[in-house]
């Protein structure tokens, strides 16, 4: 029944926003999480989750950024004051028309102990509803059955008790409508808080309003009770007297918080303009924030590209150094091989020198033994010579045969001594060469060990740098992939937001065009009525002019008939002519006025009656 849904505002938290229902169509004005809404003429109060409060009045928007109302729920406009519920702090606030707090009512308990939610002005009392008189944080979870109540804010009097998750207090005359949400009920109480009737529906009841002869109630897909009857939120229209369902409309949201009728249709453009102005500011801020995030991501991407370029250059340098080190190590290996081959040759020469030295030593030992033998022989010869001095003749003959042999032996001894000296020199040279070779071999071995240690260190450094480079490349790839994903998500989100906002703006334009069309129709009807009245007045004026012409003609005939009888009264007629001329001038002035023209027929009739 689409014609049952006309000029309604619906608020929704958790991604819902604010919706306008006009001519049976649903328009999402924005998607800012909204709980309580209150409308009074062209004044509109709105609660933003999690802790924002905005007041729209004419073309002004009031918002006290210094005031925080954590987990704001319902809001209410009463005379020149604004009221708001801070559920998290168990409090109700009174604010002025600039949204500046004037007074707070804070109730005992930890954060969100009582779950105070909705407000209403009922029989000159400001009342509120709560889930229960709990003291611990969200102690109401699982304990709300018949624990809820409705209470007078100023006196503290409990007016209604034994409720289950009460919401949406809506005065109706001196009665009170409310949603007993946990049991999915709509309830009506009289002025003495006595239950008159109730109705159970197929969803979490929250959001009530009355317009003409229709009662509207919202059904949500609740987060607190199990319900599979509905997928999206529904707005149900009931007959105000019988509570029979007239129709329902499905909304593109999961929850309904408040439903308001727009009773003053003339205030609709002002309210929509204020909402659109604030939404445009929020969207501009969101788009600017997104642009800044996108620019930051682009800057990060550029920095990552520079890092990648730097790492690539560093890697190229490291690869070049690694190649150079590999070449140097190859050269060192070649030198080591050459040194090893030279060392082997030196060792071979050393072995040969050692063998020669052993032979020379053996020869030297033999020579020494032979010399010792010769010395012993000489001593023996000396003793024999002493003994045989007396036998000089005989020994002289023997000496003549022995001296050449002695000379030969002395020569041999000298030769052996020279050979021994040469061998000693050669051995000394071989020992020196051997020591030098050992020193070179030790030095080469030490250099080889140092080079091996450097090679190992270089290999470790290269491996570490390769691991760091691989990690940096992986990190760069991950960051680039993440940045690309974020950029793509940001572009998609921005496109979605832009598309949705364009649709909302188009919907607002359509709604505004409908209102403008309706106003133009009313203005056209007023113009037609004014034209009819003007036409009727012109007809009356024309009839008055005809009657005046007839009367004037009759008067002229009478004046002609009386001309002869009034000849003797020329002097009097002269005076009367002057008076008539003055009267004519006055009549001309009067004839130029609308009131004179409209009342002239009456005067003519009165004049005729006098005649």
Which among 105, 119, 30 is positioned nearest to 74, based on CA atoms?
Answer: 119
Q: What is the pLDDT of residue 403?
A: 55
Give the pLDDT band of residue 461 (cuts 50, 70, 90): low
Comparing 38-47, 81-90, 148-157, which segment has the lowest mean pLDDT?
38-47
Residue 415 has pLDDT above 90, yes or no: no
Q: What is the mean pLDDT of residues 27-45?
A: 91
Ranges 169-183, 255-269, 426-440, most confident: 169-183
Lowest mean pLDDT among 39-43, 116-120, 336-340: 336-340
Mean pLDDT calculated for residue range 575-588:
70
Higher pLDDT, 82 or 539: 82
User: Bigger pLDDT: 502 or 31?
Assistant: 31
Q: Is the model more confident about 175 or about 447?
A: 175
Task: Identify whether the C-beta of residue 116 lies closer than 8 Å to the C-beta of residue 107.
Answer: yes
The pLDDT of residue 410 is above 70? no
Decide: helix, strand or coil at residue 394: helix
- 21: Cα within 13 Å, side-chain hemisphere: 23
Residue 303: its pLDDT value, please? 79
Contacts (Cβ under 8 Å, ≥6 apart) of 25: 2
| Percentage of the chain modeled with pLDDT above 70 | 64
Sheet with 116-122, edge to edge strand ranges: 116-122, 125-130, 148-152, 158-163
Is pLDDT at 90 greater than 90 in this prediction? yes
What length does the chain have? Answer: 611
Average pLDDT over residues 422-450: 69
Q: 72 forms bridges with which residues in the sheet?
A: 86
Task: Dig out the tokens for 580 from the structure.
Answer: 């008539």
Note the pLDDT tens digit of each residue in 303-316. Answer: 777 877 777 777 77
Identify the residue with better confidence: 219 or 230.
219
Q: Is 139 exposed, middle or buried (0-12, 13-18, 19+ CB in 10 A)?
A: buried
| Per-residue exposure over 496-512, b if at least 16 CB sit within 10 Å of its own CB, e if not | eeeeebeebeebbeebb
Confidence category of residue 468, pLDDT binned at 50, 70, 90? low
CA gap 56, 85 in Å, rounded:
18
Residue corresponding to tokens 């140097």: 328
Does 476 score more than 70 pLDDT?
no
What is the average per-residue pLDDT within 481-503? 73
Give me the pLDDT at residue 222, please: 64
Residue 233: band (very low, low, confident or very high) from pLDDT cuts 50, 70, 90: very high
Q: How far is Cα 389 from Cα 383, in angstroms, rounded to an integer?
A: 10
Other CB atoms within 10 A of residue 93 CB:
22
Band (pLDDT 50/70/90 cuts) for residue 396 is low
For range 137-141, the mean pLDDT = 95
520-541 pLDDT, tens digit each: 777 787 678 777 877 887 777 7
**Angle (CA) 335 336 342, round 5°:** 90
Distance CA 403, CA 224 (A): 142
Supply 431's token pair: 């020992």
Please choose, from the candidates 84, 82, 92, the residue with its C-alpha nearest in 3D space to the C-alpha of residue 43: 82
pLDDT at 356: 65
Q: Which residues pair with 180 in a beta bridge?
A: 166, 185
For residue 146, give both structure tokens: 């018949």
pLDDT-derived band of residue 503, with 50, 70 and 90 as boundaries?
confident
**53: Cβ–Cβ under 8 A, 6 or more apart, which residues?**
45, 46, 47, 63, 64, 67, 69, 72, 75, 82, 84, 95, 99
Determine the Cα–Cα distance for residues 611 and 609; give it in Å rounded to an integer. Answer: 5
- Better pLDDT: 169 or 331: 169
What mean pLDDT do residues 397-421 have?
Answer: 61
Mean pLDDT, to the nearest integer, of 430-438?
Answer: 67
Count of Cβ atoms closer than 10 Å to residue 435 Cβ = 10
Q: How far apart are CA 95 and CA 81, in angstroms?
A: 6
Res 122: pLDDT: 97
Query: Each residue of 263-319: pLDDT tens digit?
Result: 888 877 878 877 877 777 777 777 777 778 878 877 877 777 787 777 777 777 767
Cα–Cα nearest to 17, from 508, 561, 605: 508
**Under DSSP, is residue 39 helix (H, G, I), strand (E, B) or coil?**
strand
Residue 490 has pLDDT above 90, yes or no: no
Specify whether the CB–CB gap between 573 and 566 falls below 8 A: yes
Give the pLDDT of residue 46: 93
pLDDT reported for residue 86: 96
Q: According to the model, what pLDDT value does residue 491 have? A: 73
Please say whether the beta carbons of 77 and 37 come within 8 A. no
Task: Give the side-chain half-sphere CA count within 13 A for 61.
Answer: 18
Cβ atoms 294, 242 nearer than 8 A: no
Q: Directed axis angle between helix 594-610 and helix 392-561, to 10°?
A: 20
Counting residues of the chain whose pLDDT is more than 90, the rounded percentage is 33
Across the chain, mean pLDDT equals: 79
- Report, as an integer, the average pLDDT of 4-23: 92
- C-beta separation of 191 from 171 below 8 A: no
3-state secondary structure 451-516: HHHHHHHHHHHHHHHHHHHHHHHHHHHHHHHHHHHHHHHHHHHHHHHHHHHHHHHHHHHHHHHHHH
Helix axes 392-561, 268-387, angle to 10 degrees: 170
pLDDT band at residue 569 under the 50/70/90 scheme: low
Task: Compute CA 188 distance to the chain's CA centroid, rounded to the nearest angstrom.
Answer: 43
Token pair of 316 as six digits = 């190229």
Average pLDDT over residues 160-179: 96
403 vs 387: CA distance, rounded Å: 18
pLDDT digit string (tens) for 116-133?
999 999 999 999 999 999
Asked if residue 21 has pLDDT above 90, the reply is yes
Q: What six digits make up the tokens of 160?
A: 């209604």
**Mean pLDDT of the region 134-152:** 96
| Tokens matching residue 303 | 């920095």
Question: Per residue in 479-490, is it b (16+ CB within 10 Å) or e — as a string?
Answer: beeebeeeeeee
Binned at pLDDT 50, 70 and 90, residue 502 comes out as confident
């Amino acid at each position: 029944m689409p014609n049952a849904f006309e000029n309604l505002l619906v608020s929704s938290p958790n991604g819902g926003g604010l919706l306008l229902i006009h001519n049976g169509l649903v328009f999402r004005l924005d998607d800012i999480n909204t709980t309580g809404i209150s409308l009074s003429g062209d004044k509109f109060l709105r609660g933003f989750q999690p802790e924002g409060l905005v007041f729209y009045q004419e073309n002004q928007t009031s918002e006290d950024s210094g005031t925080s109302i954590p987990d704001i729920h319902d809001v209410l406009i009463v005379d020149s004051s604004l009221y708001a519920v801070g559920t998290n702090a168990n409090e109700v606030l009174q604010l002025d028309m600039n949204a500046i707090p004037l007074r707070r009512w804070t109730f005992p308990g930890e954060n969100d102990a009582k779950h105070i939610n909705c407000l209403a002005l009922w029989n000159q009392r400001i009342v509120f509803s709560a889930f229960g008189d709990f003291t611990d944080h969200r102690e109401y979870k699982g304990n709300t059955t018949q624990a809820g109540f409705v209470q007078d804010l100023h006196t503290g009097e409990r007016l209604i008790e034994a409720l289950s998750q009460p919401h949406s207090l809506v005065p109706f005359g001196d009665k009170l409508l409310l949603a007993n949400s946990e049991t999915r009920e709509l309830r009506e109480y009289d002025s003495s808080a006595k239950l008159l009737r109730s109705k159970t529906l197929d969803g979490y009841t929250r959001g009530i309003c009355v317009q003409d002869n229709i009662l509207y109630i919202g059904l949500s897909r609740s987060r607190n009770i199990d319900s599979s009857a509905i997928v999206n939120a529904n707005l149900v229209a009931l007959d105000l007297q019988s509570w029979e369902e007239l129709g329902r409309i499905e909304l593109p949201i999961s929850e309904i918080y408040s439903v308001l009728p727009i009773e003053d249709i003339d205030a609709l453009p002002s309210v929509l303009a204020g909402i659109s102005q604030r939404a445009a500011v929020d969207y501009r801020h969101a788009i600017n924030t997104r642009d800044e995030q996108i620019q930051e991501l682009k800057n990060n991407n550029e920095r990552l590209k520079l890092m990648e370029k730097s790492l690539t250059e560093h890697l190229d340098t490291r690869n070049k150094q690694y190649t150079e080190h590999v070449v140097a190590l190859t050269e060192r290996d070649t030198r080591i091989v050459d040194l090893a081959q030279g060392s082997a040759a030196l060792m071979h020469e050393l072995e040969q020198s050692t063998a020669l030295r052993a032979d020379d030593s053996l020869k030297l030992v033999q020579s020494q033994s032979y010399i010792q033998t010769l010395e012993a022989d000489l001593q023996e010869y000396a003793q024999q010579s002493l003994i045989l001095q007396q036998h000089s003749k005989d020994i002289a003959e023997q000496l003549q045969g022995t001296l050449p042999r002695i000379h030969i032996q002395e020569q041999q001894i000298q030769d052996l001594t020279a050979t021994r000296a040469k061998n000693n020199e050669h051995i000394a040279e071989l020992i020196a060469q051997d020591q030098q070779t050992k020193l070179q071999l030790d030095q080469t071995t030490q250099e080889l060990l140092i080079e091996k240690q450097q090679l190992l260190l270089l290999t470790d450094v290269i491996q570490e740098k390769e691991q760091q480079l691989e990690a940096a490349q992986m990190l760069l790839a991950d960051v680039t992939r993440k940045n690309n994903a974020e950029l793509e998500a940001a572009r998609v989100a921005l496109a979605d937001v832009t598309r949705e906002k364009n649709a909302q703006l188009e919907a607002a334009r359509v709604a505004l065009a409908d209102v403008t069309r309706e106003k133009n129709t009313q203005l056209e009807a007023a113009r037609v009525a004014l034209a009819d009245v003007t036409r009727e007045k012109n007809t009356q004026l024309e009839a008055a002019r005809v009657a005046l012409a007839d009367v004037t003609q009759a008067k002229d005939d009478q004046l002609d008939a009386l001309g002869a009888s009034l000849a003797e009264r020329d002097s009097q007629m002269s005076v009367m002519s002057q008076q008539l001329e003055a009267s004519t001038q006055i009549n001309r002035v009067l004839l130029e006025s609308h009131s004179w023209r409209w009342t002239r027929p009456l005067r003519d009739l009165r004049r005729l009656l006098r005649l």
